[in-house]
Amino acid sequence: MQALKTTAVQACVVGVSVLSFIALGCSKKQSSEQVSSELLKKNSEQQIGHPTSLPLLPRKNYDTLKLFNGIIITSRVDCTNSQETALTTVSDSNSYKMDINLHVQWPKAATTIAGLQAVTPDIAELIPGLNSLLTNASPSPEFAALLNHKERSLRANLAQLQHLPYRDSLFDCQTILELSNPTTSRRGVLIQAIMNVNTDGSDGDRNLPIDRLSSTFQPQTNYRWGKKSDRPNPCLRDEESRLALTTAELARGTMTPKEKETLEARRDAAKATIAELKRWSFLAGTSDPFIVLPSFMVGKSPDQPVIGDYAVVVSHGTVYPAILGDMGPNSKIGEASLRICREIMPESGADRRPTSRPEVVYLVFPGTAEKPFSAPDYAHWSERCHALWKEFGGSDTASWHEWSSLEKPWPTPTPVPTPVLTSIPASPSPSAEPNSPTNSPSRTNPPVSEVPTNSAPTPSLLVTPQ
């Protein structure tokens, strides 16, 4: 038993040492004899009198590190000898520098039924005619544009490694295809991607919950309609406070030109947001089913989708009706409102997406937006999405999700008391006896029976609530 304990302790020590080398990306070379000697010394302090041979670590450079965002970093230190002394070398910027080369292998778009089924196995059953629609299909130009925007983002953020996207966010799209049913001529933009969570949007007219935990939360969405009531937007007060603080900070005048420029931009943005919150109502990500596309894919050409177009989301065999409600960053795709995300995975939130695999199908029907925009009518949205789904070739037997409103009635306001007039009897005659009941100090008003018959009551200027 003691031997087993000794072996277990030794294995733990060796394991911890190996993990330490890997986690730190250590490139320092240590001989296996040195490592073994150190481990043996530590172990002998606990196991005096029981010498045991330890396995030797192979001579190897542990120079590979995996960052939190999934980027694999292989490091190398190159040292050369200079002909200058330290006094001169320290001032040379090239004497201590790092060169970073980021290598990315861009994927190709899936264009076959096998490629689509690899991540969405039931897609052929949900869209029976999809295989024929894919005949001679080619990737949408939007797929190449998406990768181009991703590359621009990588180049802009390479100097700050923490701003580079996670691996699954970089490879977030399986395909983008522009398809059309030859019988009905119904067009559809089919996207296979991951699902990010969007919590944007707010509405003062409807009593809905708002989730502002996301660091990118915005109270507006591109789908909007004129306010119908005088109830303030729930985000208005925060924006007004932000404007007041920024204005006060600008008034101090103790700042650099760059800081002043930043504050002025923040002030102008707050003013614009306040004006919009007072004029418009918006979709709410917590309550309304909508999807988000990159800005470059929305309304830039006649064939592209526009805000308000109907769409369906397909996940795990269920079809969810939706609309295109907002635009997002150009370097990522696959985003839906929190309402949709929580139907797919109840634990979804501002910092937890339903899925990181490009398995969700977003099918957008260009040219189907109905204007003017108005508050969501889920029954009408579902009816339109049903019809468009069938025109495109979707199955009649597909499992269909129906949305219900999460709007709550506004609390009944507390009624304001109505003021009424009360009567106070006239003052007693000055000739009354000092000790008479009328002037008794224990009473403020005389009984009715004691009021003189020749005195008429006068209205009081005091009001009391009913």
Q: Is residue 447 part of a domain?
A: no
pLDDT of res. 246: 95
SS3 417: coil
Q: How many folded domains does the chain comprise?
A: 3
- Residue 106 counted as domain residue: no
Q: Are residues 326 and 236 in the same domain?
A: no
**304 and 158 within one domain:** yes
41, 182: one domain: no
Torsion from C-alpha of 83, 88, 90, 95, nearest 10 degrees: -40
Residue-wise DSSP of 218-236: -S--SSEEE--SSPPPTTH
Q: Where in the sequence is the domain holding 248, given as residue range(s)?
A: 224-282
212 within some domain: no
Q: Indicate whether 311 and 183 sit together in one domain.
A: yes
| Token code pair at residue 381 | 């949205």
Q: What is the pTM of this model?
A: 0.74
Instruction: Please report the pLDDT score of residue 213 as a whole number.
Output: 85
For residue 191, give the nearest of 312, 299, 307 by alpha carbon.
312
Q: What is the pLDDT at residue 17? A: 43
Residue 376's CATH number: 2.40.40.20
User: Considering the domain boundaries, does residue 108 fall inside one?
Assistant: no
Domain identity same for 140 and 196: yes
Residues 9 and 121 occupy one common structural domain: no
| Residue 173 forms part of a structural domain | yes
Q: Which of 10, 105, 84, 96 is nearest to 51 (CA)?
A: 10
- Do 187 and 262 fall into the same domain? no
Residue 463: inside a domain, yes or no?
no
| Amino acid of residue 383 | E
Rounded to whole angstroms, what are the CA distances from 154 to 52, 99, 101, 103, 160? 52, 16, 11, 11, 10
Let me know whether 228 and 318 are in one domain: no
Q: Is residue 419 part of a domain?
A: no
Apex CA 216: angle with CA 212 and CA 217, to 5°? 30
DSSP class of residue 83?
S
Are 246 and 322 found together in one domain? Answer: no
% of the chain at pLDDT higher than 90: 65
Task: Decide: residue 201, CB within 10 A, 0-12 exposed, 13-18 middle, 19+ buried.
Answer: buried
- Domain edge (last residue) among 346, 370, 400: 400
Q: Do both 306 and 371 map to the same domain?
A: yes
In angstroms, rounded to a whole number, what is the distance separating the alpha carbons of residues 363 and 299?
16
Distance set, CA 390 to CA 309, 382, 385 (Å): 16, 12, 9
Q: What is the DSSP letter of 352?
A: B
pLDDT, residue 428, reads 52
Peptide bond preceding 372 in cis form (omega within 30 of 0): yes
Residues 329 and 278 in one domain: no
What are the residue ranges in the chain where pLDDT is below 70? 1-65, 420-466
Residue at 413 is within a domain: no
Same domain for 302 and 231? no
In angstroms, the Cα distances linking 59 to 27, 34, 66, 107 are 12, 11, 21, 37
Which residue, of 383, 400, 417, is where some domain finishes? 400
